[in-house]
């Protein structure tokens, strides 16, 4: 499984989100099965096509545009429990 964390520039918010996604996956015992990638908005559309799940902020959903991959909106990028709650239904 591949998860893409998207932010505007690919160096700040998405890296933080990636770290917290990986923390959640470790707690779920799924970190060996899932590849998490942080990406900027410019490459997000391409990355989303090959991913199983996209996590981003509400402001950036429209920038990603129409992709068939599920897009999950995270409000608080530092809240591991919110990320866990939104991520868990998608992780087999």
Q: For binding to another protein (CB under 8 A), which residues are involved?
A: 7-13, 15-17, 19-20, 38, 40-41, 57-60, 63, 75-80
Active site residue 7: yes
First-residue to last-residue Cα distance in the chain: 9
Q: List, in sequence order, the alpha helices (H) in 4-68.
A: 13-28, 41-49, 61-64
CB of 7 to another protein, least distance (A): 7
- What would the two tokens of residue 37 be? 């990638």
Helix (H, G, I), strand (E, B) or coil at 47: helix
CB of 80 to another protein, least distance (A): 6
Catalytic residue among 3, 4, 6, 7: 7
Q: Which residues are catalytic?
A: 7
């Amino acid at each position: 499984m591949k998860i893409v964390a998207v932010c505007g520039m690919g160096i700040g918010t998405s890296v933080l989100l990636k770290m917290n996604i990986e923390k959640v996956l470790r707690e779920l015992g799924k970190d060996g099965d899932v590849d998490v990638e942080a990406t900027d908005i410019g490459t997000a559309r391409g990355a989303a096509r090959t991913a199983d799940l996209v996590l981003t902020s509400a402001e950036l959903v429209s920038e990603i545009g129409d992709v068939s991959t599920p897009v999950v909106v995270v409000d608080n990028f530092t809240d591991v429990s919110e990320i866990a709650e939104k991520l868990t239904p998608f992780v087999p």
